């Protein structure tokens, strides 16, 4: 017998304060698809202190959140199909969990994805609190930071907004680079295509300021291995900036060379060659510099050895 759906009102506690309303609902309504949560926020069914809200509005201590009817049976069914999982740990303390995310695994559910890293880790029930501090594309591997306490999450995300965190990626591009270093400042505009997929493009009028520093690491006959140092953190930033330069990422199925990708798959590269390998920031709780590195995924290292 299922619980009849009804409107509920939740008062924000100190531990919940400071987060975006969409992230609060993702935690509070575990298992409900992100697309559905966005829909009820945008339709005005979710309210903060009786007022309509936007997905990026932040909740504060004592706020009263109106949540429309959500069928408990639907939520329970979704939760049952999420397999618990753990991932290789690079660093862990009382405040952060830093893992090596494999390619092909989304960071979170939504947009046609039933579940991701965060849902699987929560299902394992190893942590009382766990939230993504940032995100990686599904096909990107490497360093992913999760927060184990609300304050640790808020403080780190504040550093990210101020561009105080070093985040570096290795990317293998098509074509041979001439310059040792390239500063790319090309504004990025985010949109949704007719199939409902998130996409971005370079748009001088509508785009947001975006900055990536690329450094050539190694040249191959038809490829170049570059280091991408993010100065801003826009959706698909590295991918679209490299396409903009005329050097798309090998294996990129959204902004790459699709015919070349088919040939690469036959040669052993069956994924996008983008890997988060280095992160450095001041630990906001200990005030010590925290630096982590993550070697290339085995399949990427293997492909490079073939090129050599």
The string of pLDDT tens digits covering residues 40-55 is 999 999 999 999 999 9
Q: Based on the number of CB atoms within 10 Å of its own CB, is 291 exposed (0-12), middle (13-18) or buried (19 or more)?
A: exposed
Q: Tell whether 40 and 183 lie within a shared domain.
A: no
Shared domain for 102 and 203, answered yes or no, is yes
| Domain presence at residue 162 | yes
According to the model, what pLDDT value does residue 77 have? 45
Domain that holds residue 249: 89-307
Phi, psi (deg, nearest 5) at residue 155: -65, -40
Structure tokens at 296: 């290339």
Entry pTM: 0.76
Query: What mean pLDDT, rounded, does the chain reach?
Result: 89
Same domain, 40 and 154: no
> Which of 19-55 are b and which e, b meaning 16 or more Cβ less than 10 Å from the residue's Cβ?
bbbbbbbbeebbbbbbeebbebbeeeebbbeeeebee
Count how many domains the chain has.
2
Based on the domain organization, do 119 and 161 belong to the same domain?
Answer: yes
Instruction: Based on the fold, state whether residues 62 and 104 are members of the same structural domain.
Output: no
Last residue of a domain, one of 53, 80, 107: 80
Q: Assign residue 298 the CATH number of its domain.
A: 3.30.2350.10
Catalytic residue among 57, 63, 93, 137: 137
Q: What is the pLDDT of residues 154-196, one digit of tens each?
A: 999 999 989 899 999 999 999 999 899 999 999 999 887 776 6
63 is catalytic: no
Q: Is 121 found in the same domain as 97? A: yes
Residues 125 and 150 in one domain: yes
Contact 46, 54 (CB under 8 A): no
Same domain, 243 and 207: yes
| Same domain membership, residue 157 and residue 123 | yes
Residue 191 resides in a domain: yes
Residue 167 lies in a domain: yes
Domain assignment of residue 218, yes or no: yes
């Amino acid at each position: 017998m299922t619980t009849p759906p009804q409107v509920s009102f939740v008062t924000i506690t100190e531990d919940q304060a400071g987060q975006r309303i969409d992230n609060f609902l993702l935690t509070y309504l575990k298992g409900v698809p992100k697309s559905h949560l966005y829909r009820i926020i945008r339709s005005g069914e979710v309210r903060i202190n009786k007022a309509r809200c936007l997905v990026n509005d932040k909740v504060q201590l004592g706020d009263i959140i109106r949540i429309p009817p959500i069928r408990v049976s639907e939520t329970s069914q979704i939760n049952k199909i999420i397999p618990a999982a753990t991932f290789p740990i690079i660093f862990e303390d009382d405040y952060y969990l830093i893992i090596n995310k494999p390619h092909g695994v989304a960071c979170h559910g939504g947009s046609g994805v039933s579940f991701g890293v965060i849902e699987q880790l929560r299902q394992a029930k190893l942590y009382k609190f766990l939230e993504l501090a940032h995100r990686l594309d599904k096909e990107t591997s490497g360093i992913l930071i999760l927060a184990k306490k609300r304050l640790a999450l808020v403080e780190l995300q504040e550093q990210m907004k101020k561009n105080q965190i070093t985040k570096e990626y290795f990317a293998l591009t098509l074509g041979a680079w001439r310059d040792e270093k390239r500063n790319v400042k090309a504004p990025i505009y985010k949109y949704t295509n007719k199939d409902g997929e998130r996409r971005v493009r370079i748009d001088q009028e509508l785009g947001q300021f975006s900055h990536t520093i690329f450094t050539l690491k190694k040249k191959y006959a038809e490829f170049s291995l570059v280091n991408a140092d993010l100065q801003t953190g826009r959706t698909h930033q590295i991918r679209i900036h490299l396409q903009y330069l005329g050097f798309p990422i090998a294996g990129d199925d959204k902004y790459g060379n699709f015919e070349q990708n088919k040939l690469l798959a036959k040669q052993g590269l069956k994924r996008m060659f983008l890997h988060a390998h280095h992160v450095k920031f001041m630990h906001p709780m200990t005030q010590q510099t925290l630096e982590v590195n993550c070697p290339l995924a085995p399949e990427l290292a293997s492909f490079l050895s073939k090129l050599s």
